[in-house]
Amino acid sequence: MTVRIGTRASALARWQTEYVIGLWRAHEPALEVELVPFTTVGDELADAPLERMDGTGFFSSTLERGLLAGEIDVAVHSLKDLPVATTPGLVIACVPRRGAVEDVLCARGGLALRELPAGARVGTSSLRRTAQLRALRPDLAYVSVRGNVPTRLERVEHGELDAVVLARAGLERLGLADRATEVFTPAQVLPAPAQGALAVQARTGARLLQARLAAFEHVPTRQVVDAERALLHELRGGCSVPVGALGRFDDGRVQLEAGVFALAGTPAHRVTVEGVAPEAVGAAAARALLERGAGAILEALEREPRLAAEGPR
């Protein structure tokens, strides 16, 4: 029986889907698949800044509707794009081994962040990145950019921007790792929750399919991203809020570093929490951040005007 797999049509999304298919075929060599491309809300509103769009699931809701309607059997997502609130009727059946977690700078002339001239224009799609970069270089101009990875890199090549900041995993998956001129450590720029991880989603009633997908689940990755996403859930945030998180799994325990960052560069609140249960670790980190004053940063963002967009479901 052919499995219908839904994917966004971008080159990166297609790579991620083909990667999942490769993992699956390592366990089921005779696996037959049909790729079903979808255009999402985020793709249709490619010029709108995510932080000003009302709602969540801009890159995942269309695929989720396709799953619920039975148009596809499986959907492959970048996990950081998937809303933390579970969609009724759907389940994350598999989280494969995580890719690179870091953010990177791609600048003309091979420059690092510290070498960029004052006033240089740096493009980023993320308030989280902007806030942390502004703490490192408040003298630069941070520009909101959207579009796929090659399009953002072209804006640097054509001189519209002096640099862009991207996820290292995306560059590596597209064979563009050599375009990075600096890799930020988590101490410099804390990644987004679940950055570098993929999610394979199925309907809750598809038990046999879920069992097949579980064959290439990577348990350490699932543990840490569950903690990171629990943090985001407790803070009532999505991919457009300045929240960073990075979990590490060792000897059955999850250590979670988490942060909330003001857009001005300060204040910034960071905590580290450790425990056995991922969701409890994430919730504890959220409470610790709120106790330190992170709520004021998030409340200020909620007062910003939003652009109307199609809801996730």
Active site residues: 81
50-to-58, 118, 208, 243 alpha-carbon distances in Å: 8, 26, 36, 14
Whole-angstrom CA distances from 275 to 251, 257, 296 are: 11, 12, 27
Give first-to-last CA distance, the chain, whole Å: 29
User: What is the pairing mode between strands 253-261 and 268-275?
Assistant: antiparallel
Instruction: Compute the distance between CA of residue 99 and CA of residue 95 in angstroms, rounded to an integer.
Output: 11
Burial call 212-241: b when 16+ CB within 10 Å, e when fewer: bbeebbbeebbbbbbbbbbbbbbbebbbbb
- What are residue 17's phi and psi, to 5 degrees? -70, -45
